[in-house]
């Protein structure tokens, strides 16, 4: 049988449709993920059932278009500027064409070609920008039969996209976009604490809320836990660029994986198939920003009225009383909306997905140091020994359990006395549950994700 090889976009379509058909998934979620209508999804399902993988190969594969032309030097220059030298002023670009690309052309040629192609020099003055905009409007035939005064008003009133904050399109599905943010405020007890909040953008439903003393990964993990257990797996998270989501130490030598909370949170999102988008523009997530303001006016007074002064009491009141009442008053009924939430994972999967992963090495005493304590790996109540400097991945589960991944195997970690290195006596009872290695707890996989997060900013 001939091997079928798909391109990247074809492979993505095939994977999504295969998962949808084999596991009876959510068509709305598949439609959103592929950017296709429900009718197109239905057609792809039929194609998958009739032809399988080969049905996703494009019909024009291997055929040469009848009007194919050889690339001219001007096209090469335009492509080079867009893909490699974007942001260079035209004079600098001409110098690099000659020095690096071995293409010798005049400045006038580059200027005329790039300007005609719709590319304006970064060093252009205001007068040039206005004239350029005028020429673009003429090409698009938007200012035909207009007076000079009308043209001036049209050009002067329009501003660049990067200088504006246009209203974004509201999502149609429940769970399509979940905005998250932390609000540090004197909520109760006369001390500053951080309220971690998550809200669905389509229905304005608060889907998770948790107090912590600082804006921490632990706080966002509790919110994540509430979302997964109460609603399921959402399509996308939209967050800010604070330290919790974007830890970048100025000194890479002092950077530690247990503080790489972006890698931790992004890695958890990746395992569940959730997109994670970060932005430094507060207007991009205006719903959560306004909701934080509403909470600061209402929740503070509620906590004070009920005499709540501790963080434990505040979290209990927040999740059991305040949020349900808030949703009934301000949110739309999410049950009336189409949903892209996937079914909630099992409790065990949530527990081991919302984990903090930390790279460590076995020392000369066959121990691992973690949070100023020493641990040793066990399997079936039997101590396992490894060579010194063996790399491992410590897994701190959401419920506090400690495991370690070494050489494609999962082991239980048991604490030692740090001074005498004597093992704590093993207590008889129910054997501790150790998850299978099917969870992606491989050191190499985690290292690749960590490197992507820091250098390519691919979080999930």
Q: Please report which confidence band the pLDDT of residue 454 belongs to, taking 50, 70 and 90 as the band edges.
A: low
236 has pLDDT over 90: yes
Q: Assess contact for 366 and 375: CB atoms under 8 A.
A: no
Q: Please report which confidence band the pLDDT of residue 9 belongs to, taking 50, 70 and 90 as the band edges.
A: confident
Does 244 or 282 have the greater pLDDT score?
282
pLDDT digits (tens, 9 = 90+) for 353-380: 898 888 899 999 999 999 889 999 998 8
The predicted pLDDT at position 145 comes to 62
pLDDT digits (tens, 9 = 90+) for 381-431: 899 999 999 999 898 999 888 999 888 888 999 998 644 444 445 554 456
The predicted pLDDT at position 249 comes to 43
The predicted pLDDT at position 141 comes to 57
The predicted pLDDT at position 91 comes to 84
Q: Please report which confidence band the pLDDT of residue 113 belongs to, taking 50, 70 and 90 as the band edges.
A: confident
Q: Please report which confidence band the pLDDT of residue 455 belongs to, taking 50, 70 and 90 as the band edges.
A: low
pLDDT digits (tens, 9 = 90+) for 305-359: 899 999 999 999 999 999 999 999 999 999 999 999 999 999 988 998 898 888 8
pLDDT digits (tens, 9 = 90+) for 126-174: 777 777 776 666 666 555 666 666 666 555 655 555 556 677 788 999 9
459 has pLDDT over 50: no
In this structure, what are the phi and psi dihedrals at residue 75, rounded to the nearest 5 degrees? Answer: -65, -40
Q: Which of 210, 228, 218 is nearest to 350 (CA)?
A: 228
Does 207 or 80 have the greater pLDDT score?
207
Q: Assess contact for 119 and 110: CB atoms under 8 A.
A: no
Candidate from 108-112, 323-327, 444-448 with smallest mean pLDDT? 444-448
Tell me the average pLDDT across 92-116: 84
375's tokens: 């641990």
**Most confidently predicted of 107-111, 120-124, 321-325:** 321-325
The predicted pLDDT at position 252 comes to 47
Identify any residues that bridge with 200 across adjacent strands, giving them in sequence order: 178
**Most confidently predicted of 7-11, 62-66, 145-149, 165-169:** 7-11
Q: Please report which confidence band the pLDDT of residue 458 belongs to, taking 50, 70 and 90 as the band edges.
A: very low
Candidate from 60-69, 199-208, 218-227, 329-338 with smallest mean pLDDT? 60-69
Q: Rounded CA gap, 226 and 164, in Å?
A: 35
Buried b (16+ CB within 10 A) or exposed e, 397-416: bbeebbbbbbeeebbbbbeb
The predicted pLDDT at position 362 comes to 92
Q: Which of 373, 374, 377, 414 is nearest to 392 (CA)?
A: 377
218 has pLDDT over 50: yes
pLDDT digits (tens, 9 = 90+) for 86-103: 878 888 888 888 888 888
Q: What is the largest CA-CA distance in the chain?
A: 91
Q: Assess contact for 439 and 271: CB atoms under 8 A.
A: yes
pLDDT digits (tens, 9 = 90+) for 264-306: 888 888 889 999 888 877 888 889 999 999 999 899 989 998 9
């Amino acid at each position: 049988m001939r091997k079928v090889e798909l391109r990247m976009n074809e492979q993505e379509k095939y994977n999504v449709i295969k998962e949808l058909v084999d596991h009876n998934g959510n068509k709305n979620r598949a439609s959103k993920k592929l950017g296709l209508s429900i009718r197109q999804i239905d057609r792809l399902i039929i194609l998958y059932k009739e032809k399988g993988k080969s049905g996703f190969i494009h019909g024009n594969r291997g055929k040469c278009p009848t009007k194919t032309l050889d690339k001219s030097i001007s096209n090469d220059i335009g492509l080079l500027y867009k893909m490699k030298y974007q942001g260079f002023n035209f004079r600098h670009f001409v110098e690099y064409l000659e020095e690096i690309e071995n293409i010798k052309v005049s400045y006038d040629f580059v200027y005329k070609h790039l300007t005609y192609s719709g590319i304006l020099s970064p060093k252009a003055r205001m007068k040039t920008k206005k004239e350029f905009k005028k020429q673009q409007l003429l090409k698009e035939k938007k200012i035909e039969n207009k007076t000079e005064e009308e043209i001036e008003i049209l050009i002067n009133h329009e501003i660049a996209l990067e200088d504006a904050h246009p209203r974004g399109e509201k999502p149609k599905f429940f769970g399509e976009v979940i905005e998250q943010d932390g609000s540090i405020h004197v909520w109760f007890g006369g001390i500053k604490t951080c309220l971690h909040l998550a809200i669905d953008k389509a229905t304005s439903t608060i889907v998770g809320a948790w107090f912590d003393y600082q804006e921490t990964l632990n706080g966002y993990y509790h919110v994540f836990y509430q979302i997964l257990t109460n609603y399921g797996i959402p399509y996308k998270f939209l967050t800010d660029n604070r330290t919790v989501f974007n830890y970048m130490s100025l000194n890479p030598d002092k950077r530690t994986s247990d503080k790489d909370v972006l890698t931790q949170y992004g890695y958890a999102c990746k395992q569940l198939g959730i997109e994670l988008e970060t932005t430094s523009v507060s207007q991009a997530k205006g719903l959560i920003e306004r909701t934080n303001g509403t909470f600061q006016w209402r929740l503070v007074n509620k906590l004070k009225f009920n005499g709540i002064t501790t963080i434990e009491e505040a979290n209990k009141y927040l999740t059991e009383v305040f949020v349900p009442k808030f949703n009934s008053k301000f949110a739309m009924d999410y049950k009336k909306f189409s949903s892209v939430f996937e079914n909630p994972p099992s409790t065990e999967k949530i527990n081991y997905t919302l984990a903090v992963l930390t790279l460590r090495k076995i020392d000369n005493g066959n121990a691992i140091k973690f949070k100023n304590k020493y641990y040793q790996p066990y399997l079936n109540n039997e101590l396992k020994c490894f060579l010194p400097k063996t790399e491992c991945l410590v897994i701190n589960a959401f419920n506090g359990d400690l495991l370690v991944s070494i050489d494609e195997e999962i082991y239980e970690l048991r604490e030692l006395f740090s001074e005498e290195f004597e093992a704590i006596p093993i207590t008889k009872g129910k054997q501790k549950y150790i998850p299978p290695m099917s969870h992606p707890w491989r050191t190499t996989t985690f290292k690749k994700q960590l490197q992507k997060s820091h250098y390519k900013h691919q979080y999930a």
